[in-house]
């Protein structure tokens, strides 16, 4: 099942996506509230709308946590000539980074001029969990969506920590919707790609993740409680701009897309302000 958030009269609504249409749900509240409820999928009697008639929001707009995982693909470690980590490398992105499909990725040239793309599989947690066994981890997932872990490399590489370079406004596009976990039986068996102005930049596969989705959930839940709506960004494959020769950074007017098998495509345009 595909569930999206969209705007109606300046408020968030939920809808089921099918065959190019969206059917509003008879639910008062946003995605986080829905995930934490009994999840009754009652279509609204007013009928369906064409997707091109609505403005989609990020599929989650107020997560308690956005958790990033660094260096989680074998080929991404290799392109940096960096040893693979022996446990997940964790960082945080703030909720101000969230932006939706077809919304702009924006930055100030006075703050950064090395903005990079990172295609990632995002996991949306569906239950409150602590110390979750790896064998039960997929059962706590509500669903999956595409993410772009946009990164200001000049800021990131200047500091010992990642938060500032990862947390500029609009630096976490998500979407276009959440595909529920029952439709993705193995999140570690998906093709993942990034295109920049139509050119293929990243062409990877989640089977190359160093730490699988179940292992990440188990590891994270041992350190802190995960709650409905939490977002886990699972890392990016090789091909990011910073490690190309010469480097490739996003520019004003660029169009960047993230495509993940079974999850559709997330597209955003870049806007640099000087």
Task: Tell me what pLDDT residue 43 has.
Answer: 67
Cis status, amide bond into 82, omega within 30 of 0: no
Q: Where are the alpha helices (DSSP H) in 60-107?
A: 74-79
Give the pLDDT score at 47.
Answer: 80
Q: What is the DSSP string of 99-165?
A: E-TTPPEEEETTT-S-EE--EEEEEEE-S-BSS--GGGGGGGEEEEEEEE--EEHHHHHHSSSSHHH
What are the φ and ψ backbone dihedral angles of 13, each rounded to 5 degrees? -125, 160
End-to-end CA distance of the chain: 42
The per-residue pLDDT for 81 is: 87
Predicted pLDDT at 41: 67
The fold adopted by the segment(s) 66-273 is Fumarylacetoacetate hydrolase; domain 2 (3.90.850)
Per-residue pLDDT of the chain in tens (274 residues, 90 and over written 9): 999 999 998 899 999 999 999 999 989 899 999 999 877 666 665 689 999 999 999 999 999 999 999 999 999 989 988 999 999 999 999 999 999 999 999 999 999 999 999 999 999 999 999 999 999 999 999 999 999 999 999 999 988 789 999 999 999 999 999 999 999 999 999 999 999 999 999 999 999 999 999 999 999 999 999 999 999 999 999 999 999 999 999 999 999 999 999 999 999 999 999 8
Query: Domain boundaries in the chain?
Result: 2-53, 66-273
- Do the bridges between strand 172-180 and strand 98-99 make them parallel or antiparallel, or are there none, so unpaired? parallel
Question: What was the pLDDT predicted at 203?
Answer: 98
> Which three-class secondary structure state does DSSP give residue 224?
coil
Provide the pLDDT for residue 154. Answer: 96
Cis bond upstream, residue 176 (ω within 30): yes
């Amino acid at each position: 099942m595909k569930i999206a958030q969209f705007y109606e009269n300046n408020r968030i609504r939920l809808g089921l996506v099918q065959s190019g249409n969206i059917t509003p749900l008879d639910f008062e509240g946003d995605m986080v509230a829905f995930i934490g409820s009994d999840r009754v999928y009652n279509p609204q009697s007013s009928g369906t709308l064409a997707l091109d008639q609505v403005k989609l929001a990020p599929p989650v707009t107020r997560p308690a946590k956005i958790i990033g995982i660094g260096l989680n693909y074998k080929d991404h470690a290799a392109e940096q000539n960096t040893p693979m980590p022996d446990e997940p490398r964790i960082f945080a992105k703030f909720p101000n980074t969230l932006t939706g499909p077809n919304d702009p990725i924006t930055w100030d040239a006075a703050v950064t001029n090395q903005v990079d793309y990172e295609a990632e599989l995002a996991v949306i947690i569906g239950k409150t969990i602590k110390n979750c066994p790896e064998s039960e981890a997929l059962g706590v997932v509500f669903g999956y969506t595409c993410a772009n872990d946009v990164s200001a490399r000049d800021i990131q590489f200047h500091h010992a920590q990642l938060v500032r370079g990862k947390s500029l406004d609009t630096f976490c596009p998500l979407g276009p919707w959440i595909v529920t976990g029952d439709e993705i039986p193995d999140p570690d068996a998906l093709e993942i790609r990034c295109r920049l102005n139509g050119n293929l930049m990243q062409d990877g596969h989640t089977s190359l993740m160093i730490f699988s989705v179940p292992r990440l959930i188990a590891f994270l839940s041992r350190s802190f409680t995960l709650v409905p709506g939490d977002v886990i960004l699972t890392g990016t494959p090789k091909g990011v701009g910073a490690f190309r020769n010469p480097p490739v950074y996003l520019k004003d007017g660029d169009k960047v897309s993230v495509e993940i098998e079974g999850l559709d495509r997330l597209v955003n345009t870049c806007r640099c302000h000087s």
